[in-house]
Structure 1
Amino acid sequence: MGRISEEARSRKEEAIRAATDRILRGELPPGGKCDLSTLATEAGVTRTAFYPKKNRDGTTRPGPYQHLAEEFERRLKLLQEAGAVVDPRIAQIQRLKDTNTQLEERIKKQNIEIDELKEFQQLALSRIAAQHLEIERLRTEAAAGGKVTVLTPRRSVSGTIGTCN
């Protein structure tokens, strides 16, 4: 690729700065992220222009727009440290993680409650079964004419009990 004119380079830098401002305001294109790849696409430059280049002798030189990529990353880091969420997808991911944690906690509590209710159910069923067996035993004993005495109610001398005015 040949060298570009100073005027074309200046236009590209302005396009990169404008794209940087838009992206850092949270105006991301559909499917875009808050990264250098999206910045390059929005500015109309190749992503490789943001990275250092190797000379033929093996030494490195800065990429044509590397200083702007460093400025973008520095500003992004400052915004993140200030608590601003530039990329709405990151905020959505964090909300989903928080919701997931809350749901996992609810499931744990519900599983504990279900286990406790199963234990209570088992205990109640065993008590009902024991009571049923005792009732059956008493009925069998009563039917066999065992030592069961039938009590008759006592009749009171006066027809009223207590004060009935």
Structure 2
Amino acid sequence: MALSQDQRDQTERRIRAAIDRLLAGQIPPGGACDVKTLAREAGISRASLYRTWGHLKDEFEQRRAAAWAAGHQPDPREARIARLRDLNQRLTSKLARTHTEFNQLKERHQLLLSVLAAKDNELQRLRRELGTFPAPGPDQGQGDNGHGRHPPAPALMSRQAQGRRPAGCPPGSSASMTAALIGLGKHRFSGQDQPRLGDYS
């Protein structure tokens, strides 16, 4: 049955109002921003929308495409799907980079282990070489004569002190020894040859 002009105008207004709601993000439960939901919101069948109101269907699809191109997603579910898809792509790229970095670190770890093993082998070789040297003997490093004894001290008195015993002092007496020590001190401070005590004994 053919529609009257008044019915056609009412139907067209319902379709345009439904288009505006869907593009504004007012998606009904269980619906989407698509032709099927548009026909249901306008109160007509999808076949009628395609057959009778095809120009409004085309207008709806063009406006929806323009909204998508502008970065606006009228359907919250589609927007959420788009966000999740973008997040999945970013996480996939990050996982690939992490896998690459892990392989690089693994190769570097193996290289460092090889270097460490080589250094350890070198250390063991040096220890073996050091073990072949003879141990120092007890007489090494104990003095110039090799026996740990210092060279004998020089004679304490020189022959310049001979004949300086006081008169009447026999050799070996206390007075003779005292005179010898006094003479020793004088010669020590005067820089002369030091007398030997044996000359007064």
Question: TM-score normalised to the size of structure 1?
Answer: 0.66
Matched, 1:18 2:17: yes
Q: 2:122 aligns with which of 102, 117, 134?
A: 134
Change (3 A) 1:107 1:81: closer
Q: How far 1:75 sits from its partner (Å)?
A: 3.0
Q: Corresponding residue for 2:75?
A: 87
Alpha-carbon distance in structure 1 between the residues aligned to 2:71 and 2:112: 55
Alpha-carbon distance in structure 2 between the residues aligned to 1:132 and 1:26: 70
Residue type of the alignment partner of 1:19: A
Q: Corresponding residue for 1:55?
A: none
Q: How far 1:82 sits from its partner (Å)?
A: 4.3
Tell whether the 8 Å contact from 1:49 to 1:64 is kept in structure 2 after alignment.
yes
Tell whether the 8 Å contact from 1:20 to 1:72 is kept in structure 2 after alignment.
yes
RMSD: 2.8
Change (3 A) 1:134 1:71: closer
Q: Which runs of 5+ in 1 are unaligned?
A: 52-62, 155-165
Alpha-carbon distance in structure 2 between the residues aligned to 1:124 and 1:34: 59
Q: Corresponding residue for 1:36?
A: 35
Identity fraction in percent: 42
Q: Corresponding residue for 2:169?
A: none
Change (3 A) 1:14 1:148: farther
Kindly report which structure 2 residues correspond to 1:65-144, keeping only aligned pairs within 5 A, or say none. 65-143=53-131
Change (3 A) 1:115 1:44: same
The structure number with the bigger radius of gyration is: 2
Kindly report which structure 2 residues correspond to 1:1-12, keeping only aligned pairs within 5 A, or say none. 2-12=1-11
Change (3 A) 1:45 1:121: same
Residue type of the alignment partner of 2:38: L
Question: TM-score normalised to the size of structure 2?
Answer: 0.56
- Name which of structure 1's ranges 117-126 and 68-77 shifts more when overlaid on structure 2: 68-77
Q: Corresponding residue for 2:133?
A: 147
Alpha-carbon distance in structure 2 between the residues aligned to 1:119 and 1:74: 54
Task: Select the structure with the greater relative contact order (CA < 8 A; seq sep ≥ 6).
Answer: 1
Aligned residue-pair number: 137
